[in-house]
């Protein structure tokens, strides 16, 4: 999904409490992790005495305790609320499960998030999920951040940097489930660090199709003297990452990605396609080469907002046929990595972009632009046909 544009979803939906804040809610019996009820105090002049809770009399509604005062649950100075609530419908996990996962996996997540402008996808109770780019005003001062100029809105957008455990815990309390870092570091915004291919199986197609397409990409890379690491997307697809050496121009990285996709399509035209328009894919795996420039991609180890809360997880090339995305969830992933970091271990050394890929890629139209023009052409043809 697009990365560096300003957050377009500015809902006035209820938000999770920030660090040190009590969560606003209707009066209710305080649950674990919520604020304690203050003891009754003596009334001041002009005030009625505050009485201890008592059994409601006939015809009266029972007065419930209000959630006020300090929050009980806290980690690293971050207040945590409503931990035992379901994360989202069908999650099979609670907010506590998410926070626990971010905590135990923080070192590995920080390794792929550090120094990169961070977009997160949050899911609030009773609301649709939404991407948050610009940090809200109530964000604690200690959350590291960077400002990025958003050309579309002609203003600076303040992004978080996922540089430390405390920040991840705070985001977890905000019900930030997915973590989508920028493709470049904040200090070098025009230098994309990896060539990325996103392989998306067709509607109704399984993970096995994406795996087969990933092997086409691997072959195309090998033919150019390059190699990459592979991970599940956390949904149905697969991501291939190739670390880049030197200081390649953004347009050259984008061109090389288009060329890799085109070559993979030529290797297996019956399986894969570079067609950006969905109706032109005809049941084939989409070789998405558009993860460039201001785009983002779900980080390795990022949870996804899917049933069971799967995570994007690294897999050895030789093991791809033996796994499914459902094997890797916030419940299972920590036990699978143990004390290691399989994504870091699988990543090859940084490589120079192949000159042949760059040259070929510059002859291939940019997919989004081509699709836009094709869409307009088809619309004109449809109007002309209807006029006849």
Contact 237, 198 (CB under 8 A): yes
Q: Around Cβ 239, how many Cβ atoms within 10 Å?
A: 26
Contact 32, 326 (CB under 8 A): no
Query: Is 234 strand, coil or helix?
Result: coil
Q: Strand pairing of 145-150 and 130-132? A: unpaired
DSSP letters spanning 67-86: --S-BS-EETTEE---TTSB
In Å, what is the CA distance from 299 to each residue of 60, 83, 111, 151?
54, 24, 10, 24
Q: Each residue's pLDDT tens digit in the chain (388 positions)?
A: 433 333 334 344 434 444 333 333 333 333 333 333 333 344 444 343 334 444 444 444 333 333 344 456 999 999 999 999 999 999 999 999 999 999 999 999 999 999 999 999 999 998 999 999 999 999 999 999 999 998 878 899 999 999 999 999 999 999 999 999 999 999 999 999 999 999 999 988 899 999 999 999 999 999 999 999 999 999 999 999 999 999 999 999 999 999 999 999 999 999 999 999 888 889 999 999 999 988 999 999 999 999 999 999 999 999 999 999 999 999 999 999 999 999 999 999 999 999 999 999 999 998 655 555 455 565 666 666 677 7
Count the alpha carbons within 13 Å of 260 in the hemisphere toward its beta carbon: 37
């Amino acid at each position: 999904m697009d990365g560096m544009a300003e957050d377009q979803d500015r809902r006035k939906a209820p938000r999770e409490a920030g660090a040190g804040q009590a969560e606003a809610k209707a009066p209710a019996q305080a649950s674990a992790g919520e604020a304690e009820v203050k003891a009754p105090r003596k009334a001041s002049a002009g005030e009625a005495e505050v009485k201890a809770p008592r059994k409601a009399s006939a015809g009266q509604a029972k007065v419930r305790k209000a959630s006020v005062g300090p929050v009980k649950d806290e980690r690293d100075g971050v207040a945590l609320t409503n931990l035992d609530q379901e994360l989202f419908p069908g999650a099979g996990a609670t907010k506590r499960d998410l926070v626990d996962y971010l905590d135990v996996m923080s070192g590995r997540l920080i390794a792929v998030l550090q120094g990169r402008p961070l977009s997160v996808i949050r899911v609030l109770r009773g609301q649709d999920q939404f991407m948050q780019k610009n940090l809200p005003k109530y964000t604690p001062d200690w959350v590291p951040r960077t400002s990025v100029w958003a050309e579309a809105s002609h203003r600076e957008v303040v992004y978080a940097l996922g540089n430390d455990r405390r920040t991840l815990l705070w985001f977890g309390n905000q019900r930030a489930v997915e973590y989508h870092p920028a493709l470049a570091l904040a200090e070098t915004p025009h230098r994309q660090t990896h060539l990325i291919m996103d392989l998306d199986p067709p509607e109704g197609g399984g993970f096995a199709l994406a795996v087969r397409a990933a092997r086409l990409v691997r072959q195309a890379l090998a033919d150019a003297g390059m190699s990459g690491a592979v991970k599940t997307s956390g949904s149905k697809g697969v991501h291939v990452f190739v670390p880049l050496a030197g200081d390649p121009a953004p347009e050259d990285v984008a061109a090389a990605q288009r060329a890799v996709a085109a070559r993979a399509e030529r290797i297996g035209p019956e399986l894969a396609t570079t067609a950006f328009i969905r109706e032109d894919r005809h049941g084939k795996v989409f070789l998405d080469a558009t993860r460039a420039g201001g785009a983002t991609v779900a980080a390795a180890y990022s949870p996804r907002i899917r049933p069971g809360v799967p995570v994007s997880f690294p897999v050895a090339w030789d093991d791809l046929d033996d796994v499914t995305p459902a094997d890797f969830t916030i419940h299972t992933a920590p036990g699978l990595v143990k004390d290691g970091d399989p994504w870091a271990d699988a990543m090859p050394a940084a490589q120079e972009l192949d000159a042949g890929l760059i040259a070929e890629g510059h002859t291939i139209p940019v997919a989004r632009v081509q699709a836009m023009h094709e869409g307009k052409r088809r619309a004109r043809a449809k109007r002309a046909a209807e006029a006849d």
